[in-house]
Amino acid sequence: MPNLRQRFYVEDCPVRGEVVHVEDALQTILAQKDYPQAIQVLLGEMLTATALLASTLKIKGRISLQIQAQGSFKWAMAECNHLGQIRGLADFEADPRFEQATNSSTVFATLVQPVLFINIEPEFGERYQGIVPLDKPTLAQCLMQYYDLSAQIPTQITLASTPQRAGGLLIQLLPRNNEEEQNFVDEDLWPRLKMLTETLKPEELTDLEANEILYRLYNEEDIRLPEPEPLEFACTCSREKCETALVQIGVDAVKETLEIQNPITMDCQFCNAQYRFTAEQALGLFGEHLS
């Protein structure tokens, strides 16, 4: 399975983790636009990071990461929902520094006043937005800092991407429910797991299969693996959403648009789908007819 998330547990320990690989879904996303290598690897890391974060949520809905900056890099976003559907997109101006990057730290060094937004949108219930300062050299380090400060759950994250394949690993020490549970905890467990996780090389994370990575890192531990779950590229655009957007801009703006573009065409940049509205269809949304 080229796109998957593999959860893992350390038996009898308050630890859970996830390995994520994105391969042909990454190819599909990168094929939508002519991205330089730096943006390709950043999108790869953002997509795996989003899938890792989604796996820590217990809600139905979606989570997205969005980086905004000034300068030649404008923004990038990646999104994953509870079904494992992912998509991503970035906007930038040509910059020679984007041509020779091998990991997100090379891109990060070019960002001017960058900010990372974490958006959680449950199907039901309130939306959440977290703002993460991008003041560490890699995306993984910025996300770890976020967990430290906001959730206070010890979390280790490793991300790596090439234009072909992206990989990510997250491991978390879960809070204990009570003192009794605390008494059973091996105090050395987390420092040991953290140290082992840090030995993983970027090329191992992208190239090895999930179970090989877990064996390579934690073969001394008793690791339990549930069935892996698939990830896939999918876009959430639809004709209905385009109709809603037209209704929102209002009948006057639609009439003005029709004067320069008839039929109105709306392109989805995530998947290159094109939605076309003839004058009759566009005006029909407002109960008006062609005069």
Binding site for Zn ion (CB under 5 A): 235, 237, 268, 270-271, 273
Task: Name the minimum Å distance from CB 198 to Zn ion.
Answer: 38
Nearer to Zn ion, 78 or 268 (CB): 268
Q: Is the dihedral of CA 175, 50, 77, 82 positive or negative?
A: negative
Q: Which helix (H) or strand (E) holds 173?
A: strand 166-173
Task: Name the minimum Å distance from CB 240 to Zn ion.
Answer: 12
Task: Name the minimum Å distance from CB 234 to Zn ion.
Answer: 9
CB 65 within 8 A of CB 75: no
Nearer to Zn ion, 160 or 268 (CB): 268
Task: Name the minimum Å distance from CB 274 to Zn ion.
Answer: 10
Residue 106's region, left for phi above 0, alpha for psi from -120 to 50, else beta, is alpha
Nearer to Zn ion, 87 or 165 (CB): 87
Tally of CB atoms within 10 A around 105: 16
Nearer to Zn ion, 218 or 275 (CB): 275
Q: Residue 182 corresponds to which amino acid? A: Q
34-61 residues labelled b (16+ CB within 10 A) or e (exposed):
ebbbbbbbbbbbbbbbbbbbbbbeeeee
CA distance 97 to 110: 8
Nearer to Zn ion, 35 or 218 (CB): 35
Task: Name the minimum Å distance from CB 278 to Zn ion.
Answer: 21
